[in-house]
Each structure stands twice: as C-alpha cells, then as structure tokens.
Chain A
Amino acid sequence: DIQMTQSPSTLSASVGDRVTITCRASQSISALLAWYQQKPGKAPKLLIYKASSLESGVPSRFSGSGSGTEFTLTISSLQPDDFATYYCQHYNSYSRTFGQGTKVEIK
C-alpha cells in the first residue's frame, strides 16, 4: 500500500506569511494527488486536484505543485480564514490514501 507522509505536522504562521506544506508518497504516484482543507467541526473542502489544478471557487492564493513522490501546497499570503488542518490524498481508480494532516496555527 502507498503511504502518504505530510510535514510538518503543525505549522505556526502569521497573517500574510507564505506557507508551504509538503506531502511525500512512499512510491511514485504521478500527479494523482489532491489537497483538502478542514476546519474544526466541518467537513473537508477540496482545494487542489491532479497535484496542481485549482478546484472551482478556491482562492488563487492556494497552489499545488509536484509529481512522482514529492508534492507541495503553498498559500501565498495566509489569510485569517486559512487557519485549518490540511490533508493531502493520493487517489487512483480503486483506492485513496490520506496523509496524516498538517495543522496551520496562528503564531
């Protein structure tokens, strides 16, 4: 089974900061990677799919990059609404695997 590992587990940042979260796959997954945002008590929200494609309605300050085994989610200028937990997720036609999550906290 493919394992997804995110780093860091927790990140402290200020409004306006540029934030980068990394996700590594245990083997090559091409670009079959998505990113989700989850706020406390709420369902997750899809941000990015196919490693770098922005889901409709998601602000352009969010971007994704990478392929193979290493991927990043970047928030270009952190906004108050962005403090949340972020998950990467590998997907293919028959299974999906989430990373353990990265919590973005207020510094």
Chain B
Amino acid sequence: EVQLLESGGGWVQPGGSLRLSCAASAYTFSTYAMGWVRQAPGKGLEWVSSISGSGGATFYANSVKGRFTMSRDNSKNTLYLEMNSLRDEDTALYYCARIGLTSANFDYWGQGTLVTVSS
C-alpha cells in the first residue's frame, strides 16, 4: 500500500531554518507530482507547494514564495521542503501528499510532521 512518511519537524526560533523530508513507498515515485499542505493548530488546510514528477517544475503559495524550496530525489523516493526565514505563522502540521494521475488531486497523504516557530 502507498505510504508517505514525513520527518524533520521540530521547534525553531523565528528567522530560523528547517528541512522536512517525506519518504514514499509502494509506488513509482517519479511518475507522480507531489505537494505539501499545512494546517495550523485548530485551523483549516493551506496548500504550500507542489512539484512535478521530474522535479523540473515547482509552484508555491504566495505566503511562502521566496522562503521555502521544494525538491525531490527520485533515486531515493524522497520529497523535501527547505524552509528558511521561518515566522510564527509558519507553525503548523505539515503534510506531504501525492497528486493522483486521474484525479489531479491529493489522493494519498502522510500523517504529518509538526513545525513550531516560537521564541
């Protein structure tokens, strides 16, 4: 069964950096686009970024553009989110999710990794 396992979350001070990883298994990773979605405590869902299957195209929400970088290593079946210049409002549970070939939407999700930005 398709599995997505996020890691790398933790506590960081404002202005700091963090790198999230998402390890995928049980499917051909390079075939699928992927995305990151976050959810602040008690709040709704917010799309963060997406990347094509090859990694050649990346897209970002305006709220993270210029601060976050999404990438992937298809040889390692792993997705990354490099987060710089972190702000209090970046505090959230970060999910990685697969974009389905037929649905073009997030059909499989990880369980999330918590990022806390606080002084």
**Cα distance A1–B59 in the bound complex, in angstroms:** 14
Please name all residues of chain A whose beta carbon is closer than 8 Å to the beta carbon of B29 when the two chains form the complex.
none
Closest B residue to A94 by beta carbon equals B59
Q: Are B112 and A55 in contact (CB under 8 A)?
A: no
Interface size class of A (residues with CB under 8 A): 20 to 34
Contacts of B103 in A (CB 8 A): 34, 46, 49-50, 53, 55
Separation of A19 and B104 alpha carbons in the complex (Å)? 26
Q: Chain A contacts of B45 at CB under 8 A?
A: 36, 38, 44, 87, 89, 98, 101
- Give the secondary structure class of B's interface: strand
Contacts A94-B59, A95-B59, A96-B35 known; A46 to B106 CB distance under 8 Å?
yes
With A43-B95, A43-B111, A43-B112 as known contacts, state yes or no: A98 contacts B106, CB within 8 Å: no
- Tell me, in angstroms, the Cα distance from A99 to B47 when the chains sit together: 11
Taking CB atoms, residues of chain B closer than 8 Å to A91 are 104-105
With an 8 A cutoff between CB atoms, is B46 at the interface? Answer: yes
Q: List 22 A-B contacts (CB under 8 A).
A: A1-B62, A34-B103, A38-B45, A43-B97, A43-B109, A43-B110, A43-B111, A43-B112, A44-B37, A44-B95, A45-B109, A46-B103, A49-B103, A50-B103, A50-B104, A55-B103, A87-B45, A89-B47, A96-B47, A98-B45, A99-B44, A100-B44
Q: Taking beta carbons and an 8 Å cutoff, which residues of B are in contact with A?
A: 35, 37, 44-47, 50, 59, 61-62, 95, 97, 100, 103-107, 109-112
